[in-house]
Structure 1
């Protein structure tokens, strides 16, 4: 068997996604909470997009960035969960080589896009609180659109080489991916050639994107905190804090789970593989599920508009 696994083939026609190794019998039941979370993510983010699109009063930078986040969450969760449910419920883990690369691209690209949108949302709050008189002129509609395009373009340019590098590698006949979706390093482990370039470039992308975005976010909220603490009126200070609470909660959910996934995948060898994969799945599913709930509950203007739309729907 070892001799068979060590032989190389250029590109296997298919891979086989194992799901969660060690929890094969429990996967059927694990799929149910995942499916419920996915339904909540779909409904919540679609409602957000519809409300923001139809309500002209929400055509402001803050809500346009939120619409970008909702769209990103929809693509991110849909790129991996339907296939994951098929694995857990039907055992259909086979995925074509090109399909695997496409899934890998969408997962990692829109993860990069999500962190970019969160950075843009932090900048939005910085200008709104620290430079309120210049807010509209700085974050005009063309600027908001340009930021969205740049964030998407950055993700495409950063992640495309990952897929191209894998496309040129020779893979072993052992084609079982010990994961529930085509994650980069899980696929790299099946390559028969030297993969140091793949691993190094993956680290480069993670550190470049995360360090830059987190630095901008940290500086933005540090400046916001300094300005808010100088406000004399307690009501004004509380209102300024409330506008940032939703953003901070969303960022904590995304970055804490992402950091745990990244560190355990490369350095946490003592952590059981099934724990790592469960957290990696939640990392891609938890933010899309919670983001619309957090913003819907914490943002009064958005909450009022959603209630208004719901009352119209019930009346019809």
Structure 2
């Protein structure tokens, strides 16, 4: 598969490389990726089923966890099936419209997931720092408004990417050195000035991730101050335990995401296969690990899973 120069400025089909430099190993890479996707599907569907059927779990923390599970399911499903097609069946072609749709879903739902992590941090802050007002602040109506606001933010901020890509003269090549359609991967195919795309991409990244990380950090600083002021060690450990799973999820989402973002723009010395492997893990690891982390660390969910498992064995 080699790049080819375009005489026309209109591209109807792209070729997704997969993992540049490791094409000979695509068949074997597909097995762990497929396994991770299956775990993500089963885990997140199980979380949704348990929260829906267990009345005691209809509280803010678990409702936000449901939103996180839905986002993870969509985020992984819009990328992994095509990725497996590339690895197993050499189905690397993707038409221009499908590529734009995939790009939109990836970026918009990534922004939504970041916002959900912020909402969960706010929930932990209210539960620990203002426990008597928790039920009055985070009502079901408020949670619905938060979910709609996060969805609207993701759509409004990411929608311009489609028009910004359409205005580009993508005439260098039709080969995308990636496993999925991503804004900067498409920008690299452009012949003309891409300043607007780069500036707007930086603005969206810093507005979403920067805003969310700042307020998540502020929430946990206030949580830490409140926890350290608790009179007993048992109370402090319990408070830390309720935040532990959320902190793990935050780290799994932001660390590979920030690495991918920075590598696209500044990490020209990073080997392409390392970059793409981490970019793939950014869309695979959080959806797979989030239900596992919450299933292990949340007592109510863990007990319900065990109850389901034992019931089926009987």
> 1:198-213 counterparts in 2 under 5 A?
198-213=197-212
Counterpart position of 1:146: 145
Counterpart position of 1:264: 263
Q: Distance in 1 between matches of 2:229 and 2:56?
A: 30
Counterpart position of 1:100: 99
Counterpart position of 2:73: 74
Q: Distance in 2 between matches of 1:175 and 1:314?
A: 53
Q: Does 1:5 align with 2:5?
A: yes
> 1:1-40 counterparts in 2 under 5 A?
5=5, 7-10=7-10, 12-40=11-39
Q: Does 1:109 align with 2:103?
A: no
Residue pair 1:8, 1:192 contacting (<8 A) in 2 also:
no
Offset at residue 267 of structure 1 (A): 1.1
Unaligned stretches of 5+ in structure 1?
A: none
Q: Distance in 1 between matches of 2:235 and 2:178?
A: 49
Residue pair 1:109, 1:155 contacting (<8 A) in 2 also:
yes
Q: Distance in 2 between matches of 1:67 and 1:309?
A: 18
Per-residue CA deviation, residues 264-295 of structure 1 (Å, 9 max, x unaligned), is 22111111011000000001110001000000
C-alpha spacing 1:296/1:121, structure 2 compared with 1 (3 Å): same
Secondary structure at 1:193 match in 2: coil
Q: Distance in 2 between matches of 1:258 and 1:182?
A: 15
Residue pair 1:15, 1:177 contacting (<8 A) in 2 also:
yes
Secondary structure at 1:15 match in 2: strand
Counterpart position of 1:255: 254
Per-residue CA deviation, residues 280-316 of structure 1 (Å, 9 max, x unaligned), is 000111000100000000011111112222233334x
Runs of 4+ in 1 over 6 A off after TM superposition: none
Counterpart position of 1:298: 297
Q: Distance in 1 between matches of 2:114 and 2:165?
A: 24
Residue pair 2:172, 2:190 contacting (<8 A) in 1 also:
no
Q: Distance in 1 between matches of 2:239 and 2:135?
A: 17
Residue pair 2:16, 2:177 contacting (<8 A) in 1 also:
yes
| CA RMSD after TM alignment | 1.5
Q: Does 1:41 align with 2:50?
A: no
Per-residue CA deviation, residues 242-283 of structure 1 (Å, 9 max, x unaligned), is 000000000011111111111122111111011000000001
Offset at residue 164 of structure 1 (A): 1.5
Counterpart position of 1:51: 50
Counterpart position of 1:246: 245
Residue pair 1:15, 1:95 contacting (<8 A) in 2 also:
yes
Counterpart position of 1:132: 131
Offset at residue 6 of structure 1 (A): 5.7
Secondary structure at 1:248 match in 2: helix
Secondary structure at 1:92 match in 2: coil
Unaligned stretches of 5+ in structure 2?
A: none
Per-residue CA deviation, residues 120-171 of structure 1 (Å, 9 max, x unaligned), is 0000000000000000000000001110111111000010000121123332
Residue pair 1:7, 1:173 contacting (<8 A) in 2 also:
no
Counterpart position of 2:90: 91
Q: Distance in 1 between matches of 2:269 and 2:167?
A: 32
TM-score by length of 2: 0.97
Q: Distance in 2 between matches of 1:99 and 1:220?
A: 39
Offset at residue 7 of structure 1 (A): 3.3
Secondary structure at 1:171 match in 2: coil
Deviates further, 256-265 or 61-70 = 256-265
Q: Distance in 1 between matches of 2:171 and 2:269?
A: 26
TM-score by length of 1: 0.96
Q: Distance in 1 between matches of 2:307 and 2:185?
A: 46
Q: Does 1:183 align with 2:182?
A: yes
